[in-house]
């Protein structure tokens, strides 16, 4: 497929503005994705990277709100600060305990959302896999794990969590009723009863070292769906092992796209045209950055 690169947006007094706040933020693919959608939808808008140093988050957010921005995505290291600045927390943020999307409402208030959990579910369902009932094993106990766990619990999925530091998993379970915690070393023992396996750790991420998973997918039920939220590389060691066992796989790039679409609709008033073209655009950009 020929690579499609979005043209520079037209900027005028009617341009709707949004962006992504982080430190650093130059690596973010969000501007590429959102500006592609804006052009495709014919929306007079622009989405920009916003490098904001630690300690300057609230000043930056208030300034962007005063300057007429529609809202922002929030990434490392500002997610905790974002949770504390909002005037209205959406249920998604309350359940996940985190905020990654801010919307500057017309009444002057700041609304906080967490799109990671619903973005994960939307990506799995886009692969033709219904997310309702069954049992999921989540590896990891960070912010993404909590957001995904909350969305799965809301859909009647039994959630089991294993984390290398058990105390973190216990803390997560204490904040969300319905989670079972098991030791990291015992994760493989529950695979036979699971319909979904989700890696939310950095294991398998490019540059994250050579840590290994405490499981052998040969123990899994043949109906198990294996998901990895890592998308650099798209084919992680976990997914390669899953494919070797004939298991269905869902990589992390689609989660990035679907969680972004939720914010896009709130800022720009139209539904993001999620499809193979934006996936191809991001995939080509990721490939170029690894080989360039």
* 143 is an annotated ligand-binding site residue: yes
- As a whole number of angstroms, the distance between CA 87 and CA 186 comes to 42
- 252 marked among binding-site residues: yes
- Cα 5 to Cα 8, 79, 114: the distances in Å are 9, 30, 28
Segment (H or E) for 159: strand 158-163
Catalytic residue among 3, 79, 158, 266: 79
In whole angstroms, give the CA distance from residue 124 to residue 258: 10
Query: Do the annotations mark residue 65 as ligand-binding?
Result: no
Task: Please measure the distance between the N-terminal and C-terminal CA atoms of the chain and give it in whole angstroms.
Answer: 19
Q: Does an H or E element contain 21, and which?
A: strand 16-22
231 is annotated as contributing to ligand binding: yes
Q: Is 144 annotated as a binding residue?
A: yes
Annotated ligand binding at 30? The verdict is yes
| Residues in Cβ contact with 65 at an 8 Å cutoff, skipping those fewer than 6 apart | 104, 110
The pair of structure tokens assigned to 245 is 């066992």
83 is in an annotated binding site: no
Is residue 175 annotated as involved in ligand binding? Answer: no
> Is 291 part of any known ligand binding site?
no
Residue 150 annotated as part of some ligand binding site: no
Distance from C-alpha of 238 to C-alpha of 212, rounded to nearest angstrom: 9
79 is annotated as an active-site residue: yes
Return binding residues for shikimate.
28-30, 75, 100, 116, 231, 259
Return binding residues for NADP(+).
140-144, 163-168, 229, 252
Return binding residues.
28-30, 75, 100, 116, 140-144, 163-168, 229, 231, 252, 259
Catalytic residues: 79
């Amino acid at each position: 497929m020929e690579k499609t690169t979005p043209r520079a947006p037209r900027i005028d007094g009617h341009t709707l503005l949004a962006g992504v706040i982080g430190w650093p933020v130059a690596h973010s693919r969000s501007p590429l994705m959102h500006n592609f959608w804006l052009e495709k939808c014919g929306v007079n808008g622009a989405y920009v990277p916003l490098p904001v140093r630690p300690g300057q988050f609230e000043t930056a957010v208030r300034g962007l709100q005063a300057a007429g921005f529609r809202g922002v995505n929030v990434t490392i290291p500002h997610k905790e600060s974002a949770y504390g600045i909002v005037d209205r927390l959406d249920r998604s943020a309350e359940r996940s305990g985190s905020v990654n999307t801010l919307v500057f409402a017309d009444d002057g208030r700041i609304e906080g959302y967490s799109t990671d959990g619903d973005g994960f579910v939307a990506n799995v369902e886009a692969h033709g896999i219904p997310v309702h009932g069954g049992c999921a094993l989540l590896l990891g106990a960070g912010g993404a794990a909590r957001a995904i766990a909350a969305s799965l619990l809301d859909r009647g999925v039994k959630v089991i969590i294993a984390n290398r530091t058990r105390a973190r998993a216990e803390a997560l379970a204490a904040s969300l009723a319905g989670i079972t915690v098991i030791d990291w070393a015992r994760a493989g023992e529950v695979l036979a009863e699971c319909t979904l396996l989700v890696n939310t750790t950095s294991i398998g991420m490019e540059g994250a070292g050579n840590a290994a998973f405490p499981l052998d997918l040969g123990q899994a039920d043949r109906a198990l769906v294996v998901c990895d939220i890592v998308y650099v590389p798209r084919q992680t060691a976990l997914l390669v092992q899953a494919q070797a066992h004939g298991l269905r796989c869902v990589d992390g790039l689609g989660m990035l796209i679907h969680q972004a679409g939720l914010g896009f609709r709130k800022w720009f008033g139209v539904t993001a045209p999620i499809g193979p073209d934006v996936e191809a655009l991001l995939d080509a950009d990721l490939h170029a950055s690894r080989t360039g």
